[in-house]
């Protein structure tokens, strides 16, 4: 499981994320929703080691990984699906899978992810093995970014806006995948500006406003009463349209 305590981070001496606390138990989805510029990517980067926190702690299964290099945090079991997918335009799908396959160092509960297992979950990628990243559709690139993260057999999966720019039918597919991965035992942290996606799959929803937690909702309650989450978000001032 993932625990973040008092996490504070920013850029060039300025603070963006202010003493954020959250917990993602194994087998559950925790969604962080907030408008553009709220600090969602900053949070994900501070957890994954792409940005060094200035205070607070990040714990994976009780192991403190705060401020460690990204490869150390990845080996501790944190997988990242970055905003914008960031697939390599000139590498084929097969090459991406080969490079990303990293059997876990320590034995973990559950089955390790292999390219074959990933292709069972994401069969569309199997039809595209010889295609370059740059030639894939947005949905296929998103699947490839997810495949890449899974091939490290993560305990914790950080998903930064995994449905950005995708057609509704693909959003539905990604939602089902997120739920299936949590059911498989992974702790999923989903950051998204979309209250719909968050309410559809999260056990807990944190509302982030200008880098601060301004609300915390139960996912089941938000599903039963969608207006609750919309109200919580409407209170958050939009940084940009
Ligand atoms: N590399 C950077 N250097 C300086 N400031 C940054 C940097 N990255 C982000 N910021 C600032 O930090 C704040 C939070 O940005 P962040 O990217 O975390 O927001 P976000 O919630 O992920 O937004 P979006 O929904 O647009 O992805 C913004 O004010 C942004 O301008
Ligand atoms: Mg972002």
Under DSSP, is residue 234 helix (H, G, I), strand (E, B) or coil? helix
Q: Model confidence over 155-167: pLDDT tens digits?
A: 999 999 999 888 8
Please indicate, yes or no, if residue 94 is contained in any of the structural domains. Answer: no
- Beta bridge mates, 114: none
Q: In this structure, what is the dihedral angle of CA atoms 53, 57, 63, 66, given to the nearest 10 degrees?
A: 10
Q: Is the CB of 51 under 6 A from ligand 1?
A: no
* pLDDT at residue 108 in the model: 62
Q: Model confidence over 186-212: pLDDT tens digits?
A: 999 999 988 889 999 999 999 999 999
Q: Is the CB of 11 under 6 A from ligand 1?
A: yes
Handedness of CA 210, 212, 215, 220 (dihedral sign): positive
Write down the residue that tokens 């406003």 correspond to.
209
Q: Model confidence over 37-61: pLDDT tens digits?
A: 999 999 999 999 999 999 999 999 9
Q: Which are the contacts of 60, defined by CB distance < 8 A and separation ≥ 6?
A: 1, 2, 73, 76, 77, 78, 155, 156
Please indicate, yes or no, if residue 33 is contained in any of the structural domains. Answer: yes
Ligand 1 geometric centre to CA of 160 (Å): 12
Question: Of 58, 36, 35, whose CA–CA distance to 48 is shortest?
Answer: 58
Please indicate, yes or no, if residue 211 is contained in any of the structural domains. Answer: yes
Please indicate, yes or no, if residue 110 is contained in any of the structural domains. Answer: no
Q: Model confidence over 4-32: pLDDT tens digits?
A: 999 999 999 899 999 999 999 999 999 99
Farthest-apart Cα atoms in the chain, separation: 47
Give the C-alpha distances (Å, rounded to integers) separating 3 from 58, 89, 151: 6, 34, 22
Number of domains in the chain: 1
Ligand 1 geometric centre to CA of 41 (Å): 7
Give rounded-to-5 percent helix, strand, coil for the chain.
Answer: 35, 25, 35
Q: Model confidence over 111-134: pLDDT tens digits?
A: 889 999 999 999 999 999 999 999
Ligand 2 geometric centre to CA of 12 (Å): 18
Please indicate, yes or no, if residue 18 is contained in any of the structural domains. Answer: yes
d(CA 81, CA 79): 7
Please indicate, yes or no, if residue 208 is contained in any of the structural domains. Answer: yes
Q: What share of the chain in percent tops pLDDT 70?
A: 94
Domain that holds residue 62: 2-88+155-234
Which residue has a Cα nearest atom 5 of ligand 1?
A: 11
Token pair for 86: 């960031």
Which residue has a Cα nearest atom 26 of ligand 1?
A: 36
Token pair for 57: 């702690």
Task: pLDDT band for 230, please (50, 70, 90 cuts).
Answer: confident
Q: Is the CB of 84 under 6 A from ligand 1?
A: no
Please indicate, yes or no, if residue 54 is contained in any of the structural domains. Answer: yes
Specify the CATH number for the domain of residue 215. Answer: 3.40.50.300
Please indicate, yes or no, if residue 120 is contained in any of the structural domains. Answer: no
């Amino acid at each position: 499981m993932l625990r973040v305590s008092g996490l504070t981070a920013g850029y060039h001496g300025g603070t963006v994320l202010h003493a954020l606390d959250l917990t993602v138990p194994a087998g559950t989805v925790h969604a962080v929703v907030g408008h553009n510029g709220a600090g969602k990517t900053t949070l994900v980067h501070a957890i994954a080691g792409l940005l060094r926190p200035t205070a607070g702690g990040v714990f994976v299964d009780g192991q403190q990984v705060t401020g460690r290099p990204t490869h150390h945090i990845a080996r501790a079991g944190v997988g990242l699906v970055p905003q914008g997918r960031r697939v390599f335009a000139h590498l084929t799908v097969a090459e991406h899978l080969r490079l990303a396959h990293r059997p876990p160092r320590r034995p973990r509960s559950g089955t390790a992810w292999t390219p074959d297992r990933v292709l069972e979950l994401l069969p569309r990628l199997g039809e595209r093995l010889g295609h370059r990243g740059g030639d894939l559709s947005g949905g296929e690139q998103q699947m490839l970014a997810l495949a890449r993260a899974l091939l490290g057999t993560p305990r914790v999966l950080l998903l930064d806006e995994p449905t950005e720019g995708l057609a509704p039918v693909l959003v539905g597919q990604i939602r089902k995948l997120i739920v299936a991965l949590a059911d498989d035992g992974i702790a999923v942290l989903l950051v998204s500006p979309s209250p719909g996606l968050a309410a559809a799959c999260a056990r807990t929803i944190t509302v982030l406003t200008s880098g601060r937690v301004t609300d915390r909702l139960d996912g089941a309650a938000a599903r039963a009463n969608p207006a609750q989450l919309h109200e919580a978000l409407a209170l958050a001032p939009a940084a940009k349209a």
